[in-house]
Homo-oligomer: A and B are copies of this chain.
Amino acid sequence: MSEVTRRKDEHLDIAISEDVEASAQTTWLEHVHLVHRALPDIDLDEVDTSLEILGKKLKLPILIDSMTGGSERGAKVNEDLASVAAELGIGMGVGSQRAALVDGRLRSTFSVVRDVAPDILVYANIGAQQLAEVGVDGAKACVDMVRADALAVHLNPLQEAVQPEGDPKYRGVLDMIANVVEKVGVPVIVKEVGSGLSREVAALLASVGVRGFDVAGVGGTSWARIESIRSSRSGAPEKARLGESFRDWGIPTAASIIEVRSVTKGLVIASGGIRSGLDVAKSIAIGADAAAMALPALRALSKDGRDGLKALIRSAAEELRLAMFLTGSRSLRELRHARYVL
């Protein structure tokens, strides 16, 4: 097993078995109250949760966010996520594909997604910093590898800074993104991984042609925490303490959704601590187009296999549908205009 492969599996292990979420900070979605409509003027079975994102039709505004690939175990997870996504009509992202650019044998751990789910919405994934190294060609290769509908470029300055092997370099990253946006041939989404996007950052990205934003705010999985656990396992207590100090760093998901929406009419994906269909509904009411979950999907799969994951998504779907019914929202477009109180 290569170093990268081992690290990817360690991430999965820690995410599944340890307490890796923010502890003193929440998504702030608990402060969003949808106003009940006692007279919805619709039937529950009229509620239509479908939407089109990046040219693909989805049955639900729910995505499984970028997580894995690059190892045997990652391949199995990707296969299961994809087959469930296909069955339920939702979309998904794959984890960072850099390893597969370096070592061609790893390509199938990502492309397996297309083997089982040829038609679903899939977004490729690469770190913004790695664009310098892999170039536009590398970006294109990521897209081709999974016949992606879009490329998700992730920003993770906190993780890079806390990760033992990290390389926290962001100078020039915006230019590289701009270049990739121009040449990669599919829409580019920019995502954080758990500290959120501010309106300044979203505006900057929008100005170079970025079409979508996956906010990944504070309140869910904390990479400072995950890397801190790794550091403390590998006997680097200072790095571990640094990670601990930044466990709750960032912009709460609800705040991030509102900030990003205030500067773009593009695609806004709510993520970071989305844990229920009510969270999905609230996220959409305050500005998102759809919502993505990472950690809960991984854990459901790990605990109860594909059935567990299906149950998770179905239960979120039921909650979302009910929240739509109770706000009189026939469609997601109407949900976007539902009255809420902060």
Contacts and interface: CB of A to CB of B under 8 A. Distances in A.
Interface in A1-48: 35-46
A183 interface: no
B39 A169 contact: no
B201 A39 contact: yes
Interface string A155-178: 101101110000011111110000
Given A161-B325, A198-B37, A238-B318, A43 B170 contact: yes
A168 B205 contact: no
Contacts of A245: 276-278, 319
A17 B319 CA distance: 27
Given A238-B315, A318-B238, A318-B242, A155 B39 contact: yes
Contacts of A246: 278, 319, 322, 326
Interface residues of A, number: 55
Contact of A43 (B46, B171, B242, B339): B171
A36 B174 CA distance: 16
A200 B328 CA distance: 11
Interface in A319-342: 319, 322, 325-326, 339
A201 B39 CA distance: 6
Interface in A224-255: 238, 241-242, 245-246, 249-251
A187 interface: no
A262 to B, nearest CB: 14
A196 interface: yes
B38 A169 contact: no
A196 B38 contact: yes
A155 B38 contact: yes
A8 to B, nearest CB: 22
Contacts of A192: 38
Contacts of A146: none
Nearest to A195: B36
Contact of A38 (B42, B44, B197, B278): B197
Interface centre among A157, A173, A174, A277 (most CB of B within 10 A): A157
Nearest to A160: B44
A204 interface: yes
Contact of A241 (B37, B241, B315): B315
Contacts of A325: 157, 161, 168, 170
A42 to B, nearest CB: 6
Contacts of A38: 155, 157, 192, 195-198, 201
6 contacts: A35-B198, A39-B128, A41-B174, A158-B326, A195-B326, A238-B318
Given A45-B169, A249-B326, 17 more contacts: A35-B198, A35-B251, A37-B198, A38-B157, A38-B198, A38-B201, A39-B128, A39-B155, A42-B170, A43-B169, A157-B326, A158-B322, A161-B322, A161-B326, A162-B322, A238-B315, A246-B322
